[in-house]
Structures are given as structure tokens and as C-alpha cells.
Structure 1
Amino acid sequence: MVIAAFNAEESLVRAVESALAQTVPVEVIIVDDASGDQTLKLAFALMRAHPQVRILTSGANEGPSAARNKGIVAARGEWIAILDADDAFAPERLRQLMMLGERHDADMVADNLCLYDWNADRVVGTALPQPGEVVRHIHPVDFVRNAITGQSRFDFGQLKPMFRRRFMMTRCLRYPPDLRHGEDFALMFDCLLADARFILTSEAYYLFTQRHGSISAQASGQSRTHLNLHAMRDHSLALLDRPRVRGDRRLTALLNRRARAIGQQLSWSRAYPHLRARQPLALMGAMMREWSNWPMLARHLFRRWQNRGMMIRGVQADRSNLSNSTLS
């Protein structure tokens, strides 16, 4: 298991402890990406306390792709799981995914995500519906169709699959080292182009920390992602030159659609700060300059309405639990 950590002193212990709590033997590789806080000190304390923990370091901050690649090369297990330093695993995650991987002879196995509100300290839902245990075989077209940034119900590029080490090594597959945003999509797509057998279960075992909490309505403060929509869009467009993509009209159309959607997100990223700052005139100016911002605004308001409903239901549930405990 590989944990890339950069200035993660508030979350690293939680992440590592969730890894050590797995119901199968694990090797935990922490890759410190030149942190400037107490992350490395905490990592060494964890290593001294747990023989399963190993530490790698970077001389300079190189980003999550390069850090994870160091861990992938150093890993010795049959499966390689990636855990972000601000996230956590449910105790049964690796056992369940390994069983699925062996049952389906898969090269990649991913699960649904539990959406975790850091400030509220609670799971607020799942990224995908849970209609019972449903297992899907994911193919390149299906993957990209569900990774249209800002438009897909949930972006499959945010999944955190477990990779079969033999598959990764024999095909020399790694994260693009110069990509700091959208790197998960890039590696998964490369694996699929290399004919990986990719399995996705609707069961959720990965606790994914929301950048902005659905219930608390507060930023988690834990994400270290350097947003770079330009690089994400350029990467999607560069994929169009791959021989496997050029020969597939559906993939070509979907990657072009993804690139356009990222461009719309880029435009919205210039308008959204005015909305957050309650600057109506500046917001209106940004909306008028880029008409693609209007559907983005509509989606944002709809999601905020959904989150408000989730927050109200959470408060009601808390009150109900308090009332029941008082009565008992």
C-alpha cells in the first residue's frame, strides 16, 4: 500500500492506522514528498511502532504522481493499493477487493467511495448508488463516458483502484510524473489501453474526504492537490494521438467531450470566486463573458440544494439520536 504524503500532519496517522487495521497482512509505504511540517517525524514514529511501515523520501516536492511511482517501484506485495493521506480505508476493504480481483481474474479492482465530511467527522453518502452488490466490468469507453469532468454524476477519474503488481511491472505502467491534477484518470486510462481487466463494485470501502463538506459546508483544509485544469485538458487532448484512440471513434468523441468539459470548468473557476465572495456585479461580468458558465451555475446551485437537504437530514438524524438516548 502506497501513501504519498505532503504536509499531512493532521491526517497521516488516521490514514496509516486505517491501513494497519486491514484484515489481511499489509505493507505500508509512506512517501514523504518534501513536507515542511511534522509529517516526516510522524511517519518515523509510525515506522518505529509498526514493522509493516516503510518510509521513502523526496529531496524536493515532486507531486503525487512522482511520489506514488516511488512507492509502486518499492512495493513487494501481489496487489498495490493507493491511499491519499487525507483519506482512509474501511477495515475490510483490501480483503474484499482482493477476493473480487481473484474471482474475476482482474488487473484493477475499485470500489465505490464513502464521502466523508472532515469537519463534521461523518460519512455523508456514497459517490455512486448502492443498489446491492453490483460488480461491473469497466472498459475504456465506459470509463471515459463516466469521467466527463463536472458533468458525469460521479467522475470515475476519482476512483482509487487496487492494481495487480505483476500487470503494472510487466507493462511499465506508472503515473505521468509531470501531472499533479487528474493523475488517477491518466493511469487508469493507460491501464485500460493496455487491456487491463477492470472491476468496479458498488460496495463502498474507501473513505474519500470531500474538499468541501456536504454537511459542515466548510473546506476540509486537508487536500494538497494543485488544481491545474489546463494540464488536465492538455492531457486529454494528447490522448487523441494514441493509436488505440485514433482507431476508435467513440473514444475520440468522448475524450474531446471531456476536454471541452474541463475547459468549461476552467472558465467557471474564474467566475466561482465572485459567487463565494458575494460580488454580484463581478459575477455577472464573468457570466456574460463566458456563456458556458450558465449551465455550470445551474449545476452548482442544484448541488448546493442537494447538500442543504443532506445537511438538514443529518441534523434531524442527530436530534433523533439525541432524543432516543435521552429517553433511554
Structure 2
Amino acid sequence: MTRNETVCVIIAAKNAEETIGRAVRSALAEPEVAEVVVVDDGSGDRTMAAAGAADDGSGRLDIVRFPANRGPSAARNHAISHSRAPLIAILDADDFFFPGRFRPMLACRDWDFIADNIAFMERAEPARLPADFAPNPRPLDLEAFVLGNISRRGAARGELGFLKPVMRRAFLTAHGLAYREDMRLGEDYDLYVRALMAGARYTLIESCGYGAVIRADSLSGRHRTKDLEALLGAEHAILSAGNVPSGAADAMRRHHRQIGRRHALRAFLDRKRADGMGGVLAYALENPAAMPAIAGGILRDKLAAAQRRVKPPQPAPKGGLRYLLPVDQK
């Protein structure tokens, strides 16, 4: 790293007036941040005004407004092209940085992407700051990244797609990398896969500088059938190119099948809502191979709902934080 490498923080926001101020303030508080670019993606509330109210007068905040919603990928691409700092960091409008987030990241060497740990929390204000974990940097390759996005029965869901790395602008530019604007689900996963395919050196550290508030109404939590379809299409295009290393290709096919089952279930439920039992029967006749996966998905959803009714929720982790990357919390 060189001393003059600074960070641009990019925030795509839609109807985020309650949280955007905290996000902007947390970014402006970091001394390594030279720019904060907020793109108000067609909000119908006071998101733009709330972002402006968080300005610290340093001249680092820039707010852009889209008259109509274009999606997070378009907003991020616009912000990247609008900014100049050599390092790019993505911050969701309802999340925030913990103090000192970038220091341990920028102390590491020889990376194109670097991601730190994420603390998930139920409340907007955690009971405490994350523990001071040692960075313990380690490389992340394509196969490990894809496997880290696959859910397994009896295990926590695959979450590496939630990583919010700092990215080198020069690497993105050299390889023509940008977010796919037809995607509103899995756009991060797709970008990271394509970067790793292009040879990105991706480093993980265990230090935690990113706070993510769990919301039931988040975009990833209320995906639509066409969002899953776009993710399937993007992954199919990568696999069809025929240049994915064998181990990573096997992992991607597993991930693709898992997303395909989710898509089939969502399409089935859409048809049922639209056409009732007649639609259900028609869908079964048109897609017989998908029915076992659909039946399994419905059964799993019903069992999960029943379990939630009879089993009390687990207590929140100490301090109200759950970490994405496994760490020693003693």
C-alpha cells in the first residue's frame, strides 16, 4: 500500500431516510475516506435530504439523484464512474462502518479485493462494539467463495456473498468489470465470481469493521421470481463460457442447482396465486421434473414455520452480534 491510496465509499439508497444519515456519518468518520458518493435511487421519501444533513462540511460528500428507480447495480456503477479515489468500498444504506474499519484492511499487502468480517445485529444500535479480532489475513479463491454461498442442511446458510470488500479501481477498469444492471439479487456474488475468474487476489481478514442490520424487508430477503431468474442466467453464462476451473465449476453447478430449486418453488407459488388450483395442475404438467424439488421446498417451509411456533427463539449472541466469518470469541 502507498500512503496516498484513499477510499471512495459508495452508497446506493432507496427510501432510506431513517438510516442513511448514520451510514454517511460512519463513512465520513474514517480518515482514509476521500469521497462518499450517495445515489438516491428514485426514493419517495426524504432520503436525499437526510443524506445531506449528515454532511460534515469537509467537501467529501456527493449526492446524486435518479428520478426513477434503476436498481442497486445501476446506482453503484454510476457512483463508481462518478468517483475518482483508487479504492472503492460499498456500504448499504441501512448498514454502517464501525470506527477504524479501513486501518487493518489497508495495512495488508498484495490484494485486489479485501474484505473484513461483518457483524450482523437485530437492532440498529448494537449493545457493544465488535471484539478486537486479529486480522489473520488469508486468501479466498473462486472455489472456496462459491462453496461459501451454498446452504447445507443443518448448517448456517452460505453467506460469503454478503462480503463488502474494498476493491481496486484499477483492477475493475483493467478487466472491464461492473455490476450487471439486470440483477437485483446476487449482483455482488456475480461481480466477485467474475473478478476471481479474472485473477483477482482476494484477501479475507477477521477484523470486524462492517455492521449489518438484519431486516425482513431487505431486497435479499424479499426476492422476486425474476430476480432469481436473472441470477440463474448470469451464473449459466459464466459456466457456459467453459473456462471455469474444474473444482470451482463443480461448486458453481451445485450453487446453480440450489438457486434453480428456489426459482422453481417461487414460480410455482406465483402460478398458484395467479390461477389457483388450475394453475397448480397446469404447472405440474408443464414442469414435471421440477415437482419433487417444489414439494421438498414447501415441506421445508412448513416444517420451519412449525418449528418457529413451538420452539422459542435462540437468545441473541453476546453483545447482540453474530459474525459472518468464524472467529474465536473468547
TM-score, with length taken from structure 2: 0.75
Q: Deviations over 1:211-261 (max 9, x none)?
A: 2xxxxxxx4x5x34561223222322222112422xx32222211211221
How well do the aligned residues superpose, as a CA RMSD in angstroms? 3.5
* Cα distance between partner residues in 1 of 2:132 and 2:230: 33
1:281 maps to none
* Cα distance between partner residues in 1 of 2:117 and 2:30: 17
Q: Deviations over 1:159-191 (max 9, x none)?
A: 111101111122221100111111000111111
**1:51-200 pair list within 5 angstroms:** 51-100=59-108, 103=109, 105-118=110-123, 121-122=125-126, 133-149=135-151, 153-200=157-204
SS of aligned partner of 1:290? helix
**1:169-318 pair list within 5 angstroms:** 169-211=173-215, 219=216, 221=217, 223-225=218-220, 227=223, 228-245=227-244, 248-266=245-263, 290-294=295-299, 308-311=313-316
Query: Aligned partner of 2:137: which letter?
Result: V
* Cα distance between partner residues in 2 of 1:50 and 1:297: 53
1:278 maps to none
Which one scores higher on RCO, CA 8 angstroms, separation ≥ 6?
2
Q: CA contact under 8 A between 1:117 and 1:123: conserved in structure 2?
A: no
Q: Deviations over 1:55-99 (max 9, x none)?
A: 222232110000000111122112100000000001111222121
SS of aligned partner of 1:37? coil
1:214 maps to none
Query: Aligned partner of 2:195: which letter?
Result: C
2:49 equivalent to 1:41 = yes
Q: CA contact under 8 A between 2:117 and 2:208: conserved in structure 1?
A: yes
Query: Aligned partner of 1:78: which letter?
Result: P
Closer, same or farther: CA 250–61 of 1 in aligned 2, 3 Å: same
Query: Aligned partner of 1:210: which letter?
Result: I
* Cα distance between partner residues in 1 of 2:314 and 2:148: 25
Closer, same or farther: CA 267–307 of 1 in aligned 2, 3 Å: farther
Q: Deviations over 1:130-166 (max 9, x none)?
A: 9854322011111111111576643211111110111
* Cα distance between partner residues in 1 of 2:203 and 2:309: 31
SS of aligned partner of 1:55? strand
Query: Aligned partner of 2:213: which letter?
Result: T
SS of aligned partner of 2:171? helix
Closer, same or farther: CA 289–61 of 1 in aligned 2, 3 Å: closer
* Cα distance between partner residues in 2 of 1:93 and 1:312: 22
Q: CA contact under 8 A between 2:268 and 2:294: conserved in structure 1?
A: no
Unaligned runs of 5+ in 2: 1-8, 270-290, 321-330
SS of aligned partner of 1:244? coil
Deviates more, 1:249-258 or 1:260-269: 260-269
* Cα distance between partner residues in 2 of 1:52 and 1:304: 49
2:19 maps to 11
SS of aligned partner of 2:316? helix
1:325 maps to none
SS of aligned partner of 2:182? coil
SS of aligned partner of 1:309? coil
Query: Aligned partner of 1:53: which letter?
Result: L
Query: Aligned partner of 2:49: which letter?
Result: K
Q: Deviations over 1:1-42 (max 9, x none)?
A: 111111110110000010011132431011111111101122
TM-score, with length taken from structure 1: 0.75
* Cα distance between partner residues in 2 of 1:304 and 1:155: 26
Shift of 1:108: 0.1
* Cα distance between partner residues in 2 of 1:131 and 1:45: 33
Unaligned runs of 5+ in 1: 212-218, 273-285, 316-328
Closer, same or farther: CA 268–207 of 1 in aligned 2, 3 Å: farther
Q: CA contact under 8 A between 2:72 and 2:184: conserved in structure 1?
A: yes
Closer, same or farther: CA 132–314 of 1 in aligned 2, 3 Å: closer
Q: CA contact under 8 A between 1:115 and 1:123: conserved in structure 2?
A: no
Percent of residue pairs bearing the same amino acid type: 34
Relative to total residues, which structure has the larger helix share, 1 or 2? Answer: 1
